[in-house]
Homo-oligomer: A and B are copies of this chain.
Amino acid sequence: MALAAARRVLLHAGSRLGRREALDGARRFANKRVLVEMEDKAGVAVMKFKNPPVNSLSLEFLTEFVISLEKLENDKTFRGVILTSDCPGVFSAGLDLTEMYGRNPAHYAEYWKAVQELWLRLYLSKLIIMSAINGASPAGGCLVALTCDYRIMADNPKYTIGLNETLLGIVAPFWFKDNFVNTIGHRAAEHALQLGMLFPPAEALKVGVVDEVVPEDQVFSKTRSVMAQWLAIPDHSRQLTKSMMRKATADNLIKQREADIQYFVSFVSRDSIQKSLQVYLEKLKQKRG
C-alpha cells in the first residue's frame, strides 16, 4: 500500500521531473537514481543505475526502477532495454541492508514486496532486457542480471558475480534459486548457492552465469550489437516464447507472494538477524567513514 502510494507520487513526479528533451534524437528522463536514455530510432532505452556509492537496491531505487520500466513498457517506441551502471566498479551491490535494520514490520513488508515486484517485472518483461555488467554484481545485483535475456560482463577480474547469500549468514529466497537453476542448471546452482560463490568473469562465463565476457571498454558497444540481433525477431513471437519459458517460475512466486513476505518479515525481525545487521552496518560505516 505504501509502495503503491509511493509509486503514484513518483509516477506523477516523474512526469514533471522526467523533462524529456530531444538531444540528437535521444530523449531522456532524469529520475534521481535511474537515468534513462532513450534512443527512439533504435527502439532501445538504456537504464543507468545511479544510486551511489554501490547501487544498493533501496526502496526508493526499486520504486524508480519499476516506474521507469513501466513507462518503457507502455511506450510503444521501445522494444529493448539495456541495464548498466553509472557507478564505477559496481553494477549493483544488491539489497539495501539499511532497509532491513531498525525499521518496523510494515516497512520490511513494503520493502520485500518492492523487491518481488522488481523481479517479477524484469523476469516477465515483454521488452528485450540485457545487462551490460560493468562492475561487481553480488546477491541482489546478480539477481537483476539473471532476469535478463542476455548478460555481457566486463573482463575485469576484480568484478565478481553470484548469489553469495550464505557468506552473509542468510539464504537466497526460493525464487532467486529458481531463476538461478533455470540459468545454470540444478547442480551448478546447488554448488554455487551452498558456497555463496562469487565468480570472476571467466568463471561466470564457464558456468553460464553470464553469456559473454568482453574487454571492459567494449561491454556497452557489444551489448548494443547483440541487442540489434534480438531486435530482428518479431516481437509478438518472441514475447510469447519468453512467457512460455518463464511463466511457471514466476507463478511459483506469485502464488505464494504473501507467505514469502511474511517469511521475510519474521526472519529479518529476529533479534539475532538485527544484531548481525547492526554489526555489519557499523563495520561498513567505519570502512567508508
Q: Say whether A245 contacts B190, CB under 8 Å.
A: yes
Number of interface residues, chain A, beta carbon within 8 A:
41
A1 touches B (CB below 8 Å):
no
Distance between A167 CB and nearest chain B CB, rounded to angstroms: 7
Contact B182 A237 (CB under 8 A): no
Q: Which residues of B contact A208 (CB under 8 A)?
A: 187
Interface residue ranges of A149-192 to B (CB < 8 Å): 149-150, 165-172, 174, 177, 181-187, 189-191
How far, in angstroms, from A174 to B187 measured CA to CA in the complex?
18
Copies in the complex: 3
Stretch from A11-19, A51-59, A226-234 contacting the other chain = A226-234
Stretch at the interface among A75-83, A106-114, A193-201, A214-222: A193-201
Are A241 and B194 closer than 8 Å at their CB atoms?
yes
Contact A184–B187 (Cβ < 8 Å)? yes
Choice from B187, B190, B229, B238 contacting A242 with Cβ under 8 Å: B190
Who on chain B is nearest to A242 by CB?
B194
Cβ contact within 8 Å between A166 and B241: yes
The complex places the Cα of A245 from the Cα of B194 at a distance, in Å, of 9
Contact between chains at A186 and B182 (CB < 8 Å): yes
Q: Are A194 and B240 in contact (CB under 8 A)?
A: no
Cα distance A241–B176 in the bound complex, in angstroms: 11
Instruction: Report B-chain residues with C-beta under 8 Å of the C-beta of A284.
Output: none
What residue of chain B has the Cβ atom nearest to residue A237's Cβ?
A: B166
Given contacts A166-B233, A195-B230, A229-B195, contact A241 B187 (CB under 8 A): no
Across the interface, which residues of B come within 8 angstroms of A174, CB to CB?
244
Min CB gap A4→B, angstroms? 30
Q: Could you tell me the distance in whole angstroms from the C-beta of A185 to the nearest C-beta in chain B?
A: 6
What are the residues of chain B within 8 A of A288 when measuring CB–CB? none
Cα–Cα, bound, A170→B239 (Å): 11
- A237–B187 touching, CB < 8 Å: no
In the complex, what's the smallest C-beta–C-beta distance from A184 to chain B, in angstroms?
A: 7
Whole-angstrom CA separation of A233 from B167 in the bound complex: 6
What 19 additional pairs, Cβ within 8 angstroms, besides A165-B237, A169-B236? A149-B194, A166-B234, A166-B241, A169-B234, A171-B237, A172-B244, A174-B244, A177-B244, A182-B187, A183-B186, A185-B185, A190-B246, A191-B211, A193-B244, A193-B245, A194-B230, A194-B233, A194-B241, A195-B233
